[in-house]
Amino acid sequence: MFGIIGLVLLHVCVFGVFVIHGGSMAPIIAAAPFEIATILGAGIAAMLIGNDLDTIKGVAGGFGKVFGGSKWKKQDFLDVIFLVSKLLKILRVDGPVALEAHVESPESSAIFGEYPRIMKDHHVLHLITDTVRLMVISSGNLNAYAVEEVMDAAIKEHVHHAAHPAHALASLAGALPALGIVACVLGVVKTMGSIDQPPIILGGLIGSALVGTFMGVFMAYGIVEPMANRLTTVLKEEAQIYHVVKQMIVATLHGHPQPLVIEAARVAISAHNQPSFGEVFDGLRGK
């Protein structure tokens, strides 16, 4: 919502003020389609050259995150706390054998089946099952610090890979002003071919050429770079769910009581998605 408001305000402040001060939009409207096609087309081509298919798909999907925010909401964080709590309770009460089937075949598990959104994200699912599997086969001999190190490495690798689309957008933002200059130079070359024309025609050609520089800078710093920054923020918010899983498992391995385990998970969640202590415990009692 704020992204859309920002885009509207951006155009009003730039073009609206330009018109209010007596500027004519006619030359910009006439030249913009060609300049945008040149600049943005070249930028996208450069992005295709410098990135793999997964990153390009991530950029395309990233626009939805820019305007829609993180895919994980408050209920999702509650669900992952409930899911991991149930698994750890089975391990603690019924022993490793009772838990083995759940982590080896989560798609057939009644416990995992209660949380379809978690099941759909294979990164979260694997972080849970792979780590709990270690707890099952180790028979209680795992070092909490070693497990934390392994989980940190797994989370770091995934977060690094997930950030590639944001980096690609940031690179595009950095390239657009230079590509705007390229479009402007081409416009100047075109103008020089009409140097024998009267000033009114030359003025129009030069103005069209300068639109290239303007559009490159406008798209870079007004649109693409803010989108890249927003996407980076959203991806960091989405990564919080991995830290929730890690905090719960590591705190359990340290032998902390359940209230401290839950609190360790809660503090890893940003304020607008963070469930209250009471919400977590009420949910656990109702499960």
Q: What is the DSSP string of 171-214?
A: HHHHHHHHHHHHHHHHHHHHHHTTTTS-HHHHHHHHHHHHHHHH
Q: Write the pLDDT tens digit of every residue in 118-169.
A: 999 999 999 999 999 988 888 667 889 999 999 999 999 999 999 999 999 9
Residue 15 pLDDT > 60, yes or no? yes
pLDDT value for 7:
87
Residue 95 pLDDT > 90, yes or no? no
Rounded Cα distance between 284 and 86, Å, is: 9
Q: Which residue has the higher pLDDT, 48 or 286?
A: 48
pLDDT value for 165:
95
| Mean of pLDDT values over 85-89 | 92
Query: Which has the minimum average pLDDT: 174-183, 200-209, 267-276?
Result: 200-209
Q: Write the pLDDT tens digit of every residue in 96-120.
A: 888 888 988 999 999 999 999 999 9
Question: CA geometry: angle at 139 spanning 138 and 142, to 5°?
Answer: 50
Q: Write the pLDDT tens digit of every residue in 19-65.
A: 998 888 888 888 889 999 999 999 999 999 999 999 999 999 898 89
Handedness of CA 111, 113, 116, 122 (dihedral sign): positive
pLDDT value for 178:
95
The whole-chain average pLDDT of the chain stands at 90
Q: Which residue has the higher pLDDT, 3 or 64?
A: 64
